[in-house]
């Protein structure tokens, strides 16, 4: 009978040690990991313009909303006005983001013609730039992206549409 008491006491001790070990291994909460949240709030727009000759040219919209033209392009002050693409980011406090994007993309018109747009720079830097986001999750960090539209000498007027992707990686 003494042997049974000894086994029973040791079994309770073993169970008690198991619960103590288990409770202590789960006593500290893990870090809350929030994913990056990106919202596209504004598309890039090169505004209204006119091609006056056969040489074509370019229109550049800066990340700050500035607009310049080269070649046979005349910028018009009518709607729609030029604007950079704008994204809003929310991320964990103290994290950095690295942005990557393609060098260029293609816009397609309703007439089947295409135009090329060179992407960038952004207000945070060129392709591959790293930057800090706002430390308050409730306040987004804004990223503005410019670009250069290449217009051939003989192109058909109209509305051209397309898209580009930006990858946001947390550091």
* pLDDT of residue 3 exceeding 60: no
Percentage of the chain exceeding pLDDT 70:
78
Asked if 166 and 147 touch (Cβ cutoff 8 Å), the reply is: no
Question: What does the pLDDT read at residue 94?
Answer: 62
The CATH number given to 34-170 is 2.60.40
Say which DSSP state 42 is in: E
Contacting residues for 139 by C-beta, under 8 A, at least 6 apart: none
* pLDDT of residue 21 exceeding 50: no
Say which DSSP state 64 is in: T
Is the pLDDT higher at 6 or at 101?
101
Cα 159 from Cα 40, distance rounded (Å): 21
Cα 37 from Cα 166, distance rounded (Å): 13
* pLDDT of residue 140 exceeding 80: yes
**pLDDT tens digits for range 26-50:** 445 555 556 788 999 999 999 999 9
**pLDDT tens digits for range 87-99:** 998 877 667 899 9
Prediction pTM value: 0.77
Summarize the confidence of residues 66-71 as an average pLDDT: 97
Asked if 168 and 97 touch (Cβ cutoff 8 Å), the reply is: yes
**pLDDT tens digits for range 108-132:** 998 889 999 999 999 999 999 999 8
């Amino acid at each position: 009978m003494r042997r049974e008491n000894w086994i029973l006491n040791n079994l309770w001790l073993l169970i008690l040690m198991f619960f103590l070990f288990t409770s202590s291994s789960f006593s500290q909460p893990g870090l809350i990991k929030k994913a990056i949240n990106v919202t596209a709030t504004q598309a890039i727009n090169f505004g209204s313009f006119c091609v006056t000759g056969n040489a074509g040219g370019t229109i550049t919209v800066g990340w700050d909303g500035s607009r310049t033209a080269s070649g046979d392009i005349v910028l018009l002050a009518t709607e729609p006005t030029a604007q950079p693409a704008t994204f809003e980011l929310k991320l964990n406090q103290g994290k950095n983001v690295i942005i990557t994007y393609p060098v260029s993309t293609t816009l397609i018109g309703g007439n089947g013609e295409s135009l090329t747009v060179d992407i960038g720079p952004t207000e945070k830097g060129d392709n591959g730039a790293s930057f800090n986001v706002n430390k308050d999750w409730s306040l987004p960090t804004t990223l503005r992206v410019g670009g250069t539209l290449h217009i051939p000498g003989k192109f058909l007027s109209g509305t051209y549409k397309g898209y580009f992707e930006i990858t946001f990686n947390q550091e």
